[in-house]
Amino acid sequence: MDHHVVALELEPLLVELSDLALSAKQAHWNVTGPLFRPLHAQLDELADDARTWCDDVAERLVAIGIPADGRVGTVQANTPFDTWPDGFLGDSKVVPLIVARLEELIDRTRQRAVRLAVNEIVSEAMLVEIAKGLERHRWMFRVQQG
Ligand SMILES: [Fe+2]
Q: What is the pLDDT of residues 8-49, one digit of tens each?
A: 999 999 999 999 999 999 999 999 999 999 999 999 999 999
* Distance from Cα 34 to the centre of ligand 1, integer Å: 18
CB 62 within 8 A of CB 68: yes
> Within 10 A of 24 (CB to CB), how many other CB atoms are there?
26
Tell me: the pLDDT tens digits for 84-142? 999 999 999 999 999 999 999 999 999 999 999 998 999 999 999 999 999 999 999 99
pLDDT band at 2 (very low <50, low <70, confident <90, very high): confident
Rounded CA gap, 47 and 23, in Å?
8
> What is the Å distance from ligand 1's center to 117 Cα?
37
CA–CA gap between residue 1 and residue 60 (Å, rounded): 14
Whether residue 1 is predicted with pLDDT greater than 80 in this model: the reply is: no
Ligand 1 center from residue 142 Cα (angstroms): 22
Query: Residue 43 C-alpha to ligand 1 middle, in angstroms?
Result: 9
pTM of the model: 0.96
Reduced DSSP (H G I as helix, E B as strand, rest coil) percent helix, strand, coil of the chain, to 5: 80, 5, 20
116 Cα: distance to centroid of ligand 1 (angstroms)? 35
